Structure 1
Amino acid sequence: MADDAALRKSLICLAAVMAVIGLYTHSLKKMMVTYLFGMFAVAGVVLPDWEFFDRPFSQWTSPLSVPQLPPLHPPHSPPTPSRFRFYPLRTIIYATVYGYAFYKWWMYISN
């Protein structure tokens, strides 16, 4: 992963959520479930190889081509923010999986 700052911030937020859940429920078991749920959520969003998955869904089964080396002095062009491209199918899959997981986690914590 090229930028570890997002991973660090996510883990700090997860630690804060775990502390709040632990203080609110007084349950080590619910705090550990929150930790596991949070680690899977963070790993699913922050750690994937976005160069591979940041393509249309129909191209996910084909290998990723290696880009050619740039010239020694390339013309300056701002980098494209490839992390925030919108693909409807990927968004629907993420929303469905994370929505269901969050619902199940919330039902476990609130009981």
Structure 2
Amino acid sequence: MANDAVLRTCLVCLGALVLVIGLYTYSFKKMFATYVYGILGIAGILLPDWEFFDRDFSQWVYPMSADTDSTQPPRSKRFRIYPMRVILYTMIYSFGLYKWWMYVFNT
């Protein structure tokens, strides 16, 4: 990861959210569920900046060659938005957020 400040900020925000959930629900299990869901969410959003995942979605199932072509200009570190990636992330995180919300606030 090129920028550790983003990771630190996300982890601090997650810690604050876990504390708020703990104060609101008085439940260690719900705090733990919030922490686990938050860590998975942070990892799922920040880790795909790796070169392997920074390809078209259809190429994810194929191995990536270890050769780096020095004649090509260096690839931008900017996160590229591919429609299938956005759709996949939206579906997974929406379902996970819904299940987390139902567990924390309705149980």
Which bin holds the TM-score, normalised by the shorter protein? 0.7 to 0.9
Unpaired stretches in structure 1, ≥5 consecutive residues:
none
Unpaired stretches in structure 2, ≥5 consecutive residues:
none
| Aligned counterparts of 1:62 and 1:35: Cα–Cα separation in 2 | 32
Deviation at 1:41, TM superposition (A): 0.7
Distance 1:94 1:64, change over 3 A: farther
Moved over 4 A (4+): none
User: Paired residue for 2:89?
Assistant: 94
- In the alignment, structure 1 residue 29 sits paired with structure 2 residue 29: yes
| Aligned counterparts of 1:12 and 1:101: Cα–Cα separation in 2 | 21
Judge conservation of contact 2:14–2:38 (CA < 8 Å) in 1.
yes
Distance 1:24 1:105, change over 3 A: same
Q: 1:51-106, CA deviations, whole angstroms, 9 ceiling, x for partnerless residues? A: 11111122221414533347xxx9xxxx73431x1111010100000000000000
| Aligned counterparts of 2:2 and 2:54: Cα–Cα separation in 1 | 15
Give me the CA root mean square deviation: 2.2
Judge conservation of contact 1:52–1:64 (CA < 8 Å) in 2.
no
Q: Calculate the TM-score normalised by the size of structure 1.
A: 0.81
| Aligned counterparts of 2:67 and 2:45: Cα–Cα separation in 1 | 24
Judge conservation of contact 2:22–2:31 (CA < 8 Å) in 1.
yes
Q: Which amino acid aligns with 2:34?
A: T
Give percent identity, aligned residues only: 51
Task: Decide which structure has the larger Cα Rg and report it.
Answer: 1
